[in-house]
Structure 1
Amino acid sequence: MIDGHAEDRFSAVREEFARNFAERGEVGAAVCVYENGRNVVDLWGGIADPKTGAAWQRDTIVCMMSVGKAMAAICVLQLIDRGKIELGAPMARYWPEFAQAGKAKITVEQVLGGLAALIYAEHAPPGSMMDWDAQVRALELQAPVWEPGTRGAYHSMTAGILFGELVRRVDGRTFDRYWREEVANPLGVDYALGLNDDEMARVAPMIPNPGSVTLNAIADPTSKLGKAWRSMPRTPDFFNSDEYRRGVFPSGNGHGNARAIARVYAALAQGGTLDGVTILSSSVIEEARTQRWDEICGMTDRPFRYGLGFMLSKPPLVPFGDNPRAFGQPGAGGALGFADPERGIAFSFSPNFMCSGAGLGDRCAALITATFASVA
C-alpha cells in the first residue's frame, strides 16, 4: 500500500513508485520531491521489516549510507560561511595533529573536494570503525596515497571522519550534536546520527542485495574499497546492529528518510533558505557545486564528477538529470538526495532493499526520470 501525496502534475512519480513495488522488487521505501521550495511529492509504502511484516510508516527512517557525507559537508561549509574556517587554509591550522605524515599542506578545499588522497585509514585497528578517537588517530598517522591535489577520489570511508573532526576542532561540539543543533532542528528534518531510543524504534532494517558491487568490494580485502573499510567490524548484519545505529559515522550511518533529505536539498536549491531558515549562503552553495574534478575515481575506478563535499551529475552512475551543475550524494544501495537549482528541484529516495550494480539502480532511476518529465 502506498501512502502520502503527489500533486497531479507529478502523477508520473506516483505511478513509477507503484511500479517499483509491482515490477522492480521494491520492499519498503519513500520518495519526496520539492519544487521551488514547495513539497509536491511525499510518498511512502511497502514493508519496513520483512521479519515482522511491519508496514513502512510516515515516520519510518532507514540508514541512507553515504548520503550522510553531504550532510557532514554542509556543516563544514556552514562554518566556512560563518568565517570560522578558511577554504584555502591547511587542515592543520584547525587540527594540528593532522600535519603528520606529509599532510601539512593539504587544504580544507582539497579535503572537501576529494583531492586529499586520504582514502585509507591504515593505522586503525580491525573492528574500530565506530571508535571516533581511533579513526581520528589513524587519519593523523595516515600518509597520502598519492600527491594531494593531483587526482580525485571518492573518500568512501574517511570523508565523514575528516569532515566531522574538522567541525569538532573548530566548533567544539561533536559532529552529531552540531548537526542536530545547527541544521536538523532549525530546518525540521528527521535525519540523525547516533540514534536515540525513539529513533531506534522507527528504523527499517537494511536488506542487502547480493548483486551490490559496492558491498561485494567492501567484503573483498584485496580490493581498494575492502582496504579502505578494513576497520569495519565483521559481525553478521553489522549495518543493522545497535552499534552501527547508535554510533556516529558520517561516512555511512546517517538515518532518515526521503522527506528529511529532500527538505535539506530544497533549502540548497533555493539559495540556502527554506521557510525562513538559512543553512548556507548562495555564494557558498555556488562554490560547493563548482567542479573540482571529472575523471576516473582513484578509489572506485568509476567515472565521477565532484564539487566540494557533493557529487555532480554524471549519468548513468550519478543521474541527477541533465543539468551538469545539479549536485548531491548517493548512498550504497540506492538512497539519494540532490538539488537542481536551475529547475528548483530537490529530490530524495530512501529504500530499505539495496539495489544491485554500481549505480543507483532501476527503482531510483525511474523516479528521477519521472520527476524531470513532470517539470519539463
Structure 2
Amino acid sequence: MADIQGSYDGLFAAVPNALAELLDAGDTGGSVAVFVDGEPVVDVWGGFADTERTVPWERDTIVNVYSVTKTMTALCALVLADRGELDPDAPVAVYWPEFAAAGKERVLVRHLLSHTAGLPDWDGPVEEIYDWPAATARLAAQAPQWEPGSAAGYHSLTQGFLVGEVVRRISGRSVGEFLADEITGPLGADFHIGLAAEHDRRVALTVPPPGHDEEYTASAPGRGSAPAAGTPLRVRDGNSVAWRRAQIPAASGFGNARSVALVQSAMACGGTLRGVRLLSQAGRDRAWEEQFSGDDRVLGMPVRWGLGYGLFGNTYGWGGWGGSLVMIEPEARLVVAYVTNQMREPAHDNRGLEIVMSAYDGLVGLRA
C-alpha cells in the first residue's frame, strides 16, 4: 500500500486508506483534509509531485485546483455582500459601467455567481487570459447567449473574470489581493490566486490522464470527451509560468487540501472561524440560496446553483478539472477537500466522491 504521510483521527482511518488506494491504482500524488468544527481530523498526503515520480509530495506541496478556485472567488464576493458593499441583485453595470454594452444592462451580480449570465465561453486567445484588462474588456463587449437568468451554462473560465472585476471595482484590489488580505491571510491559509515565483518550488504540476500528453484539453463532464466550447485550454497552459503568475479567478488557484478545507470551514461554521469573522450567519446562508435548478447548457447535466457554489442536497461545494474537490456540510460543520496533480478522464472520475464517502464513515463514528 502507498505510504501516506500526515495525521488523522482514528475514526477517520478510511480517508487515508482511500487516498492510498488511489495512489496504488496509479495516481501520481495528492492530499486530503477533513475539518470538523474548523479543526482538522484528517490532514494527509502521499505520492509524488512530478511526472517522473522522483519528488515526494510534501506537507507544503501545492497544486493547481482549477475550478475549486471558484469557491474562493465566490467567498470574496460574499464577504463584500455581507459588508453591504455589494448587492447581488444589482445590475453588474452599477459597479462596472462598461459591462452594460451589447444588451447586458439586465445582467445582475447574482447571474455571474450562478452561471446564468449568458457568457460561458472564452473566445479569445489563451494568451489574453493572462492580461486582466484585455480579458475583462473582451467580456464587457460580448453579447449574452441567452436572456440573463433564464438558463444556466457553466462559465468555466469567464466567471472568475466577471466576478473578479466586480470585486476589483468595489474594493480597489484584485481578487488575489482581496483574498490574501481579507481571508487567507487572517486565517493563515496557504492558498493563492496569482502565485509568486517564490512558491514555484512547491508546485506539483498537473499530470495528464493516462494515454495523453500536455496537449490534453478541458472537456465538459456531461459530454464524455467532447471539448468545451470556446478556446480549448490545454494541460500545457495550466502548467505554464504565465498561468501561475496570472490571476484567473475561475481556475488558477494554488493550494493543498489543508488550505482549501481551512478556508471553506468558515462556510461550514456560520461565517466565523478561529476567531476570524468573515461573514455573518445570514451572509453565509445567502450562498446556499438556490439561483437555478435544471439542465446546464454547457455541462449537459442537471445542476443546482447557489451564489458561487454548487448545491447537492444539504451539501455544497464544487470540483475542478483534474479531480480536485471541496464539499461542505454545514449541519455537521464538516468540510472535505481533496486535491491531486493526477488527471483522469472526467466521465470516469469518481475519486472525489470516494474520498467524501470515506469521510462520512468517520463522521458516523464521531456522532456515535
With structure 2 as the length reference, what TM-score do the two structures score?
0.92
Q: Which amino acid aligns with 2:109?
A: V
Give yes or no for contact 1:206–1:239 (8 Å, CA) kept in 2.
yes
- Look up the match of 2:197: 197
Aligned equivalent of 2:104: 103
Shift in Å, 1:246:
1.2
Report matched runs for 1:143-162 at 5 Å: 143-162=143-162
Shift, 1:214, TM fit: 6.9
Amino acid at match of 2:133: D
Is the alpha carbon distance of 1:217 and 1:266 closer, same or farther for their aligned partners in structure 2, counting shifts above 3 Å?
closer
Conserved 8 A contact 1:211-1:356:
no
2:315 corresponds to: 326
Partner residue in 2 for 1:370: 358
Residue 357 of structure 1 is aligned with which of 346, 360, 365?
Answer: 346
Does the Cα contact within 8 Å between 1:211 and 1:355 map onto a contact in 2?
no
SS at match of 1:40: strand
Q: Which amino acid aligns with 2:251?
A: G
Answer whether contact 1:121 1:142 (CA < 8 A) is retained: no
Give the Cα–Cα distance (whole angstroms) in 2 for the partners of residues 127 and 243 of structure 1: 9
- Determine what percentage of the aligned residue pairs are the same residue: 37
Query: How many pairs does the alignment contain?
Result: 357
5+ residue gaps in structure 1?
314-323
State the 1:272 CA deviation.
0.9
Counterpart of 1:10 in structure 2 is: 12
Q: Deviations over 1:133-185 (max 9, x none)?
A: 11111111111101111112211111000111001101111221111111110
Structure 1 residues 211 and 272: CA distance shift in structure 2, 3 A: farther
Number of the residue aligned with 2:32: 31
Which residue matches 2:77?
76
Paired residue type of 1:226:
A
Distance apart, 1:127 and its partner CA = 3.1
**Is the contact made by 2:167 and 2:174 (CA closer than 8 Å) also made in structure 1?**
yes
Which residue in the other structure is 2:239 paired with? 240
In the other structure, the counterpart of 1:225 is 228
Per-residue displacement from partner, 1:305-334 (whole Å, max 9, x unpaired)? Answer: 111101112xxxxxxxxxx13111210111
Distance 1:121 1:241 in 2: 18
Alignment match, 2:92: 91
For the 8 Å contact 1:224–1:300, the answer to whether it is kept is: no
Residue 295 of structure 2 corresponds to 296
C-alpha RMSD of matched pairs (Å): 2.2
Kindly tell me: are residues 2 and 125 of structure 1, through their superposed partners in 2, closer, same or farther at Cα, counting changes over 3 Å?
closer
Q: Distance in 2 between matches of 1:147 and 1:53?
A: 51
What residue is the counterpart of 1:173 in the other structure? 173
Query: CA 1:97/1:224 → structure 2, altered by over 3 Å: closer, same or farther?
Result: farther
TM-superposed CA distance for 1:363, in Å, is 2.6
State which drifts further: 160-169 or 170-179.
170-179
1:208 aligns with 2:208: yes
Q: Is the 8 A contact 2:294 2:304 kept in 1?
A: yes
Match of 2:311 in 1: 312
Change (3 A) 1:182 1:337: same
Shift of 1:225: 1.9
What one-letter code is carried by the residue in structure 1 that aligns with 2:36?
E
1:50 deviates by 2.7
Name the structure 1 match of 2:54: 53
